[in-house]
Amino acid sequence: MNPPDARTAAASPPLIRITNLNFSYGDRPILKNVSLDVPRGKLTAIMGASGGGKTTILRLISGQNHPPTGSVFFDGVDVGALPQKGLYALRRRMGMLFQFGALFTDLSVFENVAFPLREHTRLPEPLLRDVVLMKLNAVGLRGARDLLPSEVSGGMARRVALARAIALDPELVMYDEPFAGLDPIALGTTARLIRNLNDALGTTSILVSHDLDETFAIADHVVILANGGIAEQGTPEQVRQSQNPLVRQFVNAEFDGPVRFHYPGATLEEDFGLATPSTHSRTETHA
C-alpha cells in the first residue's frame, strides 16, 4: 500500500485524520481499524464496492455517526468529542453534495443556493444576493437564477447543488456520488467543475464515486475500500498499478475475482444432480 503523497504530508498537516476507526451497524461490522489521512487542499477519492462503507466514512467525518472506537480529527479537532453546539459550528466548515443533489423543488435556483446562507448567516439582502450570484457564476448558472429545479436539466441541477454546497465557503466539500444518473457530457462537466472549484477556492474535497475513469482523471489521492479496510491508496497511477487482487478486480472492472460474481450457495453440480456426494462442496464464498 502506498502512503499519502509525501510532498503534501510534509507541507501541511492533513485536514482530516482518521485513526484506528471501527464502526458497525448493529452487530454488522462495516469499517475495521481504518486509519486515513485526507491531505489539505487536495481532492481525495474514496472508492470501492457497493456497501463497503464509503458514505459511512462521510457521515463519521461530519459527526452524524460516532465511532465506538477510534477517532476522526478535523483540523486537529476530535469530531466525536464535540458537544452538539461545537458540532454544528464544525459542520458550517463542511459542504455536502448528496447523491442526486436533492434540491428543494419549490424553490428557485437562486433560493436553493441562498438557503444555507439564510439559515446560517445574517447577511444583508444585497450582500447575500452578490454571494449567491458569485456561486452561481462559478458553476455557469448565473443566468438560470429564476428557474425552478424542474426547469433545468439533470446536469444543471447537479451544478446548482454544487453551488449550494460551496455557498458558505467551506474548507471541506464532500461529494457523495455526484455523478449518479448524469449523461456522459454532464458527468464530464461536473467532474471538471469539482476539480476546478477545489483549486480555485482552495478547499479540500472528498469524492465518493463509482465512475472510475472520471474520478481517476481528477483525483490527487485515491483510497480503495474493501472488506472493511483500506486495500490500497495513492495517486491514481499508483492505485492503477496495485498488485492487490481486490484492487485489480475493481480497477479493471473485472466481472469475477476475489469479490465473487456468484452469490454463495450450492455448486452447479449439486443443483443439476451431476455430482457424487463426495464432491459436494460450497466453494463460491465471498472473499
Ligand X SMILES: Nc1ncnc2c1ncn2[C@@H]1O[C@H](COP(=O)(O)OP(=O)(O)OP(=O)(O)O)[C@@H](O)[C@H]1O
Binding site for ligand X (CB under 6 A): 25, 30, 50-56
CB of 208 to ligand X, least distance (A): 6
Residue 195: which of 215, 214, 218, 178 has the closest Cα? Answer: 218
Taking the least distance from each CB to ligand X, the nearer of 50 and 276 is 50
User: What's the CA gap between 96 and 243, in Å, rounded?
Assistant: 33
Q: Which of 41/229 has CB closer to ligand X? A: 229
Residue 279: exposure state from Cβ atoms within 10 A (0-12, 13-18, ≥19)? exposed
Nearer to ligand X, 25 or 88 (CB): 25
Query: Is 53 or 63 the residue whose CB approaches ligand X more closely?
Result: 53
Report, in Å, the least distance between residue 132 CB and ligand X: 30
| C-alpha dist (Å) from residue 41 to 91, 206, 273 | 18, 10, 60
Output the DSSP codes for 38-75. Answer: E-TTSEEEEEESTTSSHHHHHHHHTTSS--SEEEEEET
Residue 284 has what DSSP assignment? -
CB of 87 to ligand X, least distance (A): 18
The number of residues making up the chain comes to 287
Give the containing element (helix H, strand E) for 230.
strand 229-234
The least CB distance from residue 143 to ligand X, in Å, is 34
Amino acid at 83: P
The single residue listed with the C-alpha cell 466453494 is 283
Specify the residue, 167 or 223, whose C-beta has the smaller distance to ligand X: 223
What is the smallest separation between the CB atom of 173 and ligand X, expressed in angstroms? 17
For the CB of residue 241, give the shortest distance to ligand X in the complex, in Å.
Answer: 24
Nearer to ligand X, 40 or 54 (CB): 54
